[in-house]
Amino acid sequence: MHMDGKTCIGERRSDQSPSIPILANETCSVNNGGCDSRCHDVFSGVHCSCPMGFMLQADRKTCKDIDECRVNNGGCDHYCRNSVGSFECGCKKGYKLLINEKGCQDIDECSFDRTCDHMCANSPGSFQCLCHKGYSLYGITHCGDIDECSINKGGCKFGCTNVPAGFECTCPTGYKLHWNRKDCIELIKCASSGPPSHSSLACSRNGKKDTCSLTCSSKTLLHSDSDSSYIFSCGTPAVRPGINSKQNTSHHCIETMVLPIKQKASFKLKDSRCDLLVRGRTSRVEENTRHGNAPATCTDCQLTYINLKCDSSWKARSRSLRSTINKKITRISLELEAEVKVDDATANCGISCLHQRLERKIKSILKSLRKSINQERFVIRLASIEYEVIQRGTAGRERGENCLPGQQRMWGKCASCPPGTYYHGQMDQCQPCPQGTYQEKEGQLLCDLCPGADANGPAGASNLSACGGQCSPGQFSTSGYKPCQSCSRGMYQPDTGRTQCISCGGGINTRHEGATSFQDCETKVQCSPGHYYNTTLHRCIRCLIGFYQPEFRQNFCIACPGNSSTDFDGSTSIAQCKNRHCGGELGDYTGFLESPNYPGNYPSNVECTWNISPPAKRKILLVVPEIFLPSEDECGDLLVMRKNASPSSITTYETCQTYERPIAFTARSRKLWVHFKSNEVNSARGFQVPYVTYDGSSTETSGSSAPAWRLNARS
């Protein structure tokens, strides 16, 4: 009884607010007892309670929402969103909600198909696509071949040809590529074998030819009734026009022409495999006493190209044989090119003599190799590099047990040897390239020889520049090696190991000697990104559609990678390169509808049409995880799904704006015509819509009264 002697005091509950008197005549049948939510009749009157997610207030009648997110973020790892009577946890982009609906876990995007064109690197909450060498990333996940020839002709002196993952420089007739693979040098060299007695010989350079004049001393004359002097020219092996045949020019040119010697040889090994080991450079020739055989040697050869390989492959036996065992074929192949050292010519042994000696030496190497192939191991020494070949039987090495040649097993998987290394067959693992060699490619069995007799680059060199001794950018020499000269004013050179510098053109000078870029040329105007400087017109020109230039003061534009292009001219970034390919006939059972260049922004003024025609009695189920279309340009970009191209046909889905919540639906027609178009105003990420077809014979017939999804711009 309350102290007023008229009212009763209800029982206090430990979980309720204190001391509000309850009248004895209150009942739940009248106005729910005054309770906001639940009302319970008790002997003392009424008792109010609240549902989960709400808390009874001090008046013991009113219910108020509990904000669970205020205490410890509601137990959520990332986001907590309060709602009336409840809450929900959410995760940052790149994470997914765990089954406990509170924790967040990273999504491994790299585990999905179609994430990246080439390589994928996962990271917490994100991922990154990577491209193989010679390819460039665009549209976030796509890789396109780089057109190196669009970048200052690839640095080539003459011609440049783009090839997948690289480029090749070309030379005119009578020239061959320098070791730097960019400059061109004469294929035919002429050298004087020495003038006859009582004469003087004067030679000079004129264009691409060496011209020499032989003059007899007084009281002497030249044999064969010729004049007291005559001229002969060396270069392309042809008689120079206007020169009388009695001057006998061809005799002297043939005597002094130096053609490179090229040899190839291949030897087959039966029932064995071979490993090629590169020992590195040696300073002297020594006998291979350990194994009892002398190495095949060519230490004083001027080798311009070496390619020594040990290749093992499997050859399937004839189909007529019942045995399914394949036969392993191993070959040792040697390909080399050598030149005569002109400076070694003497009166007793001229150019022709040296050429014959070199031919005999090359043949001797091949003969030694042929004799050695049956030995367990032998050594070939070429240009101070020792190559050891080791053979062993294939017994116990079943096909598929090991990785392919050029690969090693890492973490249970086969991985190609990276650049700067080669596959060491005996150790069955990748090893750094020895000093004096380099390797630019992956998965190689051998490292390439550094050019230059004194090349002493570090071990593990992954490109020519690491070989050392080369002329730095802004310098040049006739060989590409030190000693070097600085590029003169008006010239520049961005590469290492070059034999010439590049002219700024148009009479333009440089700020200083030793310039390394066209940006050092003092142009009349400074071109901004998206433009290039025309040295003939002396003004800036906008990059064409399909090209871009991100830098200031350049004289070229870069072609977009692969089949991508830009929406407009004057582009300044590779991010503006987009693939316009889309549409087509899609699979009967599963497939994707994907906006062009997805997940990068789609191009402007593009139209795509897809057709899905499943087999009889199959229906189409589509899922739209998210779609990004700009709504600010009044539905200029539109995605529509209908039975056919007719605007009056049954429509399944239509939208022109962004939706980030996933939806799934069944097509309202058995066949589906899908159309996407964009205008030139805005662009966005677009969409990737997967679909499957399923057996619909046990469900409603197609074309039922299921609602069409029309997601148009909000009014």
What is the structure's pLDDT at 694? 93
Rounded to an integer, what distance in angstroms lies between the CA atom of residue 92 and that of residue 101? 14
CA distances from 706 to 283, 492, 611, 701 (A): 85, 71, 21, 11
Domains of the chain (ranges; CATH) run 68-106 (2.10.25.10), 112-145 (2.10.25), 148-186 (2.10.25.10), 261-315+327-466 (no CATH), 584-711 (2.60.120.290)
For residue 140, is pLDDT > 60?
yes
What is the structure's pLDDT at 114? 86
Q: Which pLDDT band holds residue 237 (cuts at 50, 70, 90)?
A: very low
> Are the beta carbons of 503 and 490 closer than 8 angstroms?
yes
Q: By C-alpha distance, which of 555, 551, 639, 541 is closest to 598?
A: 639
Peptide bond into 483 cis (omega under 30): yes
CA distances from 525 to 521, 539, 548 (A): 11, 7, 19
Using DSSP bridges, classify how beta strands 257-258 and 327-339 pair: parallel, antiparallel or unpaired.
Answer: unpaired
Lowest-confidence region among 120-134, 153-167, 381-395, 546-560: 381-395
Q: Which pLDDT band holds residue 463 (cuts at 50, 70, 90)?
A: confident
Q: Which tokens sit at 319?
A: 């189909």
What is the structure's pLDDT at 225? 43
What is the structure's pLDDT at 564? 96
For residue 248, is pLDDT > 60?
no
What is the structure's pLDDT at 279? 57
Phi, psi of 31 (to 5 degrees): 55, 35
Q: By C-alpha distance, which of 99, 129, 133 is closest to 112?
A: 129
Helix, strand or coil, per DSSP, at residue 637? coil
Q: What would the pLDDT profile of 254-266 be if each residue is shown by its tens digit?
A: 344 566 777 777 7
Q: Which pLDDT band holds residue 217 (cuts at 50, 70, 90)?
A: low
For residue 518, is pLDDT > 80?
yes
Rounded to an integer, what distance in angstroms lies between the CA atom of residue 61 and that of residue 23? 13
Q: What would the pLDDT profile of 569-621 be if each residue is shown by its tens digit?
A: 999 999 999 999 999 998 789 999 999 999 999 999 999 999 999 998 899 99
SS3 labels along 114-159: CCCCCEEEEECCEEEEECCCCEEEECCCEEEECCHHHCHHHHCCCE
What is the structure's pLDDT at 374? 65
DSSP state of 473: T
What is the structure's pLDDT at 214? 66
Q: Which pLDDT band holds residue 538 (cuts at 50, 70, 90)?
A: very high
Rounded to an integer, what distance in angstroms lies between the CA atom of residue 567 and that of residue 632? 20
> Are the beta carbons of 568 and 652 closer than 8 angstroms?
no
What is the structure's pLDDT at 399? 38
Average pLDDT over residues 647-651: 92
Rounded to an integer, what distance in angstroms lies between the CA atom of residue 390 and that of residue 189? 39
Identity of the amino acid at 641: M
Question: Which position has the higher pLDDT, 114 or 565?
Answer: 565
For residue 398, is pLDDT > 60?
no
What is the structure's pLDDT at 489? 96
Beta carbons within 10 angstroms of residue 266's beta carbon: 11
Average pLDDT, rounded, for the chain: 79
What is the structure's pLDDT at 142? 96
What is the structure's pLDDT at 392? 59
What is the structure's pLDDT at 631? 78
% residues pLDDT > 90 (the chain)? 47
Q: Which pLDDT band holds residue 454 (cuts at 50, 70, 90)?
A: low
Q: Which pLDDT band holds residue 345 (cuts at 50, 70, 90)?
A: confident
Rounded to an integer, what distance in angstroms lies between the CA atom of residue 29 and that of residue 245? 134
What is the structure's pLDDT at 413? 80
Q: What is the dihedral of CA 691, 692, 698, 699, to 10 degrees?
A: 0
Say which residues have a Cβ less than 8 Å from residue 147's Cβ, sequence separation at least 6.
162, 167, 558, 559, 561
Tell me the whole-structure pTM to 2 decimals: 0.68
Beta carbons within 10 angstroms of residue 30's beta carbon: 11
Phi, psi of 659 (to 5 degrees): -135, 125
For residue 89, is pLDDT > 90?
yes
Average pLDDT over residues 102-130: 94
What is the structure's pLDDT at 278? 60
Question: Which position has the higher pLDDT, 472 or 387?
Answer: 472
For residue 235, is pLDDT > 50?
no
Question: Which position has the higher pLDDT, 650 or 216?
Answer: 650
Q: Which pLDDT band holds residue 170 (cuts at 50, 70, 90)?
A: very high
What is the structure's pLDDT at 19? 46
Lowest-confidence region among 77-91, 370-384, 544-558: 370-384
What is the structure's pLDDT at 259? 66
What is the structure's pLDDT at 395? 45
For residue 33, is pLDDT > 80?
yes
Lowest-confidence region among 173-187, 270-284, 662-676: 270-284
> Which residue has 């906006």 as its token pair?
595
